[in-house]
Amino acid sequence: MTPSPRPLIADAPRALAFLVSQQAFIEPTVYRTQYPAVRYPRLVPVDTEAPEWVPTVTYFSVDRVGQATWVHGAAADVPRAEILKRQHETAVAMAGIGYGYDLEELGKAQLLGMNLDADKADAARRASEEFIDQVALHGDPGKGFSGLLNHPGVTAGIAAATGAGGATAWASKTPEQVLADVNGQLAGIFTGTSTVEMADTLLLPYEQMLGIGLRRLDGISAVTLLDWIRRHNVYTLETGQDLAVIGVRSLETAGTGGSARMVAYRRDPSVLKLWLPMPFRFFPAWQTGPWRFEVPGAFRLGGLDIRRPGAFRYLDGI
How many C-beta atoms lie closer than 10 Å to residue 120's C-beta?
Answer: 17
209: confidence class by pLDDT, cuts 50, 70, 90: very high
| Domain over 12-30+38-60+84-147+274-306 is classified CATH 3.30.300 | no
Give the pLDDT score at 137: 96
Give residues with Cβ within 8 angstroms of 258, minimum separation 6. none
DSSP type of residue 117: P
The side-by-side arrangement of strands in the sheet containing 286-289 is 99-102, 292-295, 286-289
Give the pLDDT score at 26: 85
Identify the CA nearest to 251 among candidates 170, 142, 162. Answer: 170
pLDDT at 62 over 60: no
Mean pLDDT of 208-219: 87
Helix H segments across the chain? 12-32, 40-43, 103-112, 119-138, 175-192, 206-214, 225-231, 234-239
DSSP type of residue 87: E
- What span, in angstroms and rounded, lies between the C-alpha atoms of 32 and 14? 28
Measured distance between the N- and C-terminal CA atoms of the chain, rounded to whole angstroms: 86
Q: Do residues 236 and 8 make contact, with C-beta atoms less than 8 angstroms apart?
A: no
Q: Do residues 297 and 94 make contact, with C-beta atoms less than 8 angstroms apart?
A: no
pLDDT tens-place string over residues 93-146: 999 999 999 988 888 888 777 778 888 999 999 999 999 999 999 999 999 899
Q: Do residues 244 and 200 make contact, with C-beta atoms less than 8 angstroms apart?
A: yes
Mean pLDDT of 172-190: 93
pLDDT at 179 over 60: yes
In terms of C-beta density within 10 A (0-12 exposed, 13-18 middle, 19 or more buried), how is residue 236 classed? middle
Give the pLDDT score at 216: 85
Give the pLDDT score at 60: 65
pLDDT at 2 over 80: no
246: confidence class by pLDDT, cuts 50, 70, 90: very high
94: phi then psi, degrees, rounded to nearest 5: -105, 140
pLDDT at 58 over 80: no
pLDDT at 291 over 90: no
Q: Which option is the CATH number for 156-273+308-316: 3.30.2320.10, 3.40.50.970, 3.40.50.20, 3.10.20.30?
A: 3.30.2320.10
Residues in the chain: 318
Give the pLDDT score at 115: 78
Identify the CA nearest to 245 among candidates 231, 259, 258. Answer: 231
Tell me the pLDDT of the chain averaged across its residues.
87
State how far Cα 294 lies from the chain centre. Answer: 29
Q: Do residues 293 and 100 make contact, with C-beta atoms less than 8 angstroms apart?
A: yes
pLDDT at 245 over 60: yes
Which pTM does this prediction carry?
0.84
Mean pLDDT of 168-172: 95
How many C-beta atoms lie closer than 10 Å to residue 171's C-beta?
Answer: 15
Ranges for all domains in the chain classified under CATH 3.30.2400: 12-30+38-60+84-147+274-306
pLDDT tens-place string over residues 18-56: 898 889 888 887 876 665 578 999 999 999 998 999 998
